[in-house]
Amino acid sequence: MAFGLVMGLVVMLAAGAVCPGQEGQPASAADLWTRARALLDGTLGAITPEAQGVFLRFEVLVGDASLGSGTVAFRRQGLSWLDLTARSGFCRFLHAATGSACLLQTTAGRTAFTSEAGGSVPFPILRIDPDPDRGFQLNLAMNMSIQSATHPMDLDVASGAPAYLLGRIQAKFPVLREEGGQLVFRGEATPATATPDLVIEPAASGVRLVEARFPYEAGRDVRLRLQDFTVNGEVPAPPEGWMPPIDPATAHGSAVTGLPAFIQGFYALLRELIPAS
């Protein structure tokens, strides 16, 4: 599915480097594709289980209406947090030196886990793995196994993904230009004056913006917007009071006891973020 492909693209465009040749004279089409390849090849290697930090914010919109948003903030052996927010509620995960907590709050109720209550706490998985049918697949889930103190999140991008993605991008959006410091991709049928299908704006320490559009219904586009994506850079703390207090007496002491309600609610949130085809 195209939406899933670009979700994978967004995850992998985290960087730490400006595209070579970004400054200076206008580039030829061949030069731009070389830069796009260099951006993919040169940045994906940083997204491994050994990464020291990852930060990104994203939002999914249909037209001008937001379906939901999220933040991934990972710091090895430090403060890490995940926020997924949709119309019906949110899921928040926090790992700090003092322990971990995970809270799912939806219209159906509240499911909480805390390491203070003993047992395991669900922690995020964000991976791009090989898929025998689709090449590569984005996997976003919550792991119910025992969490590692040095790996509060499971983050990884499989080798081979850069070349695969570049081929898919070239096939779907073969017209590439540089406009205002951005790499702008359009399909062959997209007028040069129309809104681009895909935009990547590099920054000095990562990717400032990625925005992809897909035709949806009644003339409205689905827009996937990612901002402030960095790898091995600064990882900010969550806002003050972001994680509501969790009483260990009411939290699940084991992931098993709260598993059914948590899984049902978590994937319901994810479905809200992915418009029906």
Q: Mean pLDDT for the chain?
A: 82
pLDDT confidence tier of residue 140, bands split at 50, 70 and 90 = confident
Q: Of the candidates 76, 57, 48, 90, which has an alpha carbon nearest to the alpha carbon of residue 272? A: 90
**CA distances (Å), 166 to each of 5, 188, 277, in order?**
11, 16, 24
Q: Which residues have CB under 8 Å from 203's CB, separation 6+?
A: 18, 230
CA distance 231 to 209: 14
**130: helix, coil or strand?**
strand
Nearest CA-CA partner of 215 in 189, 182, 178: 189
The predicted pLDDT at position 162 comes to 77
The Cα 74–Cα 154 span in angstroms is 10
Cβ-based burial of 231 (10 A; exposed 0-12, middle 13-18, buried ≥19): buried
What amino acid is encoded at 255 in this protein? A
| pLDDT per residue as tens digits for the range 231-250 | 888 899 999 999 999 887 77
Q: Which residue(s) pair with 109 in the sheet?
A: 106
| Predicted confidence band of residue 117 (pLDDT cuts 50, 70, 90) | low
Amino acid at 220: R
Quick one: 24 exposed, middle or buried, by C-beta within 10 A (0-12, 13-18, 19+)? exposed
pLDDT band with cut points at 50, 70 and 90 for residue 257:
low
Radius of gyration of the chain (CA): 19
75 - beta bridge partners? 53
Name the residue among 146, 160, 209, 206 with its Cα closest to residue 182. Answer: 209
Distance between CA atoms of 134 and 54, rounded to whole angstroms?
26
Q: Where are the alpha helices (DSSP H) in the chain?
A: 2-12, 29-44, 161-172, 255-273
pLDDT for 89 equals: 96
Task: Evaluate if residue 132 carries a pLDDT over 50.
Answer: yes
Contact between 36 and 169 (Cβ < 8 Å): yes
Tens-digit pLDDT profile for residues 170-214: 999 999 999 998 999 999 888 888 889 999 888 777 678 889 988
Do residues 89 and 265 lie in contact, with contact meaning Cβ atoms separated by under 8 Å? yes
